Chain A
Amino acid sequence: MARKAVAATLASVVLFTALVVADATVMSAQDNLASSAQTSHVESRELLLERSLAGSVSLQVLAQVQGYLSSNPAECDGLPQYLASITASSSVSGEDSGVAYSANATASGATAASLPPTIQRDNLTIIAPFAGVVSGTLNLREALRVKEVGGGGSVSLEKRETHTLNLPIKVDSASSLCASALGALASALSRSPCNATLEQAAFYAALPGLVEEASAQGFALTAGWGLSAACSASYWVTLVEPGVVGATGSFDWTVRGSGTTA
């Protein structure tokens, strides 16, 4: 009887031990699965954040440039310098779902010709159509950096990339309109120096054609003139590109030019 009891006890011990080992094995496997799933979740969250942060700071940069363009008229004779002087930067940092992040972007004006042909199309499609190079418009070269750390430091992501952005102001059209309008007005006013009546007639004869030419290219042109000292006439032109569809809404872009006849 005693032997049977010991045997039964030993059998129970073996059975329960096997159950505990089996449970521990399943538990360990499930733990690994949970850990992998959690890591995968942190990775997918970081990818989502990376894309949205890259887009957000780039959009902030475009908004700053847009604000600069709408409040600072360009000069006809300094258009390339005006565009090259444009700079903007934006940064953001914080924490989201256990992921600490920081992102910053710095952009500066660049001509299409100065940008490598390999980046004419840009993969920052989340801010399309303002990503990539568009010939004849304002193009920007952007240095972008995104850094994220999540999962208690176990999952980190860092990206340093160069992107190209654009705002659809018609730079080339403005440049050619400046040259043609100022040239035509100088020519008209130079034909009859020291005769205000004839100068006025010549000015107003030339103006409708210039307004029409500008309108055909999406600009509103206004111009004026006045007599300066010693029979010379001074004249000015203002070109406004209205309703440019920017990254944060529509805005007007103004280009001014002036000259004096000899």
Chain B
Amino acid sequence: MQFIDIAVASGYAAVCLSLIVLMSPVAPREAAVEAGAQSSLDSAISAYVDHVGLPFLATSSEAAICSSATEASNATLAFDVVVQGEGCGSAVAPPLPLASSSLTLDLPSRTVVIEAWLVRQ
């Protein structure tokens, strides 16, 4: 009787512990944080494009565009703009960003890709 009791209790405990491990809330929390970071980056890209305007990105020199990307970057947010496959030399992707996002713009005379990273502090 005692043996059965211990076996049932142990079995039930094992099942419960397995369920607790399987239903870990860590993964969805990380997914939520990542989605939030992506939304922040998309808002930052939108603000940058609104600020400089598409005609600027369609007609300006790479140097002028890179300068605007540098101005838009700060301690937690890094921008790079790739014009016809050529990125800004000074802007390098941080080694372990919290999140990254990009937007490809098919403009009349060129393709411009805006890349943004949330930098880990």
Q: Could you list which residues of chain A lie within 8 angstroms of chain B, going by C-beta atoms?
A: 1-2, 5-6, 8-9, 12-13, 16-17, 19-20, 23-24, 26-27, 29-31, 33-34, 36-38, 40-41, 44-45, 47-49, 51-52, 55-56, 59-60, 62-63, 92, 96, 125-130, 247-249
25 contacts between A and B (CB under 8 A): A1-B2, A2-B2, A6-B5, A9-B6, A12-B9, A13-B9, A16-B12, A23-B25, A24-B23, A27-B28, A29-B25, A33-B28, A34-B28, A40-B35, A44-B39, A51-B50, A59-B58, A63-B108, A92-B106, A96-B103, A96-B104, A128-B53, A247-B55, A248-B59, A248-B107
Q: Which residues of B contact A26 (CB under 8 A)?
A: 25
When C-beta atoms are compared, the residue in chain A nearest to B54 turns out to be A55
Taking the nearest CB of chain A, how far is it from the CB of B88, in angstroms? 20
A59-B46 contact, Cβ under 8 Å, with A23-B23, A37-B32: no
New A-B contacts (18) at CB < 8 Å, excluding given A27-B28, A37-B31, A38-B32: A5-B5, A5-B6, A6-B5, A16-B13, A27-B23, A33-B28, A33-B32, A34-B35, A37-B32, A40-B35, A45-B42, A48-B42, A48-B45, A51-B50, A56-B54, A59-B108, A63-B109, A249-B109
Let me know if B64 is at the binding interface, CB within 8 A: no
B75 within 8 A of A: no
Q: Contact size class for B?
A: 35 or more
* A45–chain B nearest beta-carbon distance, Å: 5
Residue of chain A at shortest CB distance from B21: A23
Do most interface residues of chain B lie in helix, strand or loop, or is the interface mixed? helix
CB <8 Å contact, B29 and A30: yes
Q: B20 at interface (Cβ–Cβ under 8 A)?
A: yes
Whether the pair B55, A12 counts as a contact (CB closer than 8 A) is no
Decide yes or no: A20 and B105 within 8 Å by CB, A34-B29, A247-B55 being known contacts: no
CB distance from B65 to the nearest CB of A (A): 15
Asked if residues A60 and B108 are in contact (CB atoms below 8 Å), the reply is yes
User: For B17, what are the chain A residues with a Cβ–Cβ distance below 8 Å?
Assistant: 16
The answer, among A17, A36, A41, A52, for a CB contact under 8 Å with B103, is A52
Chain B stretch 1-33: residues in CB contact (< 8 A) with chain A: 1-2, 5-6, 8-9, 12-13, 16-17, 19-20, 23-25, 28-29, 31-33
* Smallest Cβ-Cβ distance to B8: which chain A residue: A9
Q: Is B49 an interface residue (CB 8 A)?
A: yes
For residue A5, which residues in chain B have a CB less than 8 angstroms away from its CB? 2, 5-6
Contact, CB under 8 Å: A30 / B103:
no
For B42, the chain A residues whose CB sits under 8 A away are 41, 44-45, 47-48
Chain B residues whose C-beta falls within 8 Å of the C-beta of A9 in the assembled complex: 5-6, 8-9
**Do residues B36 and A37 form an inter-chain contact, with CB atoms below 8 A?**
yes
Give per-residue flags for B30-70: 1 if the beta carbon is below 8 A from chain A beta carbons, else 0. Answer: 01110110110011011001100111001100000000000
Q: Is the CB of A41 within 8 A of B39?
A: yes
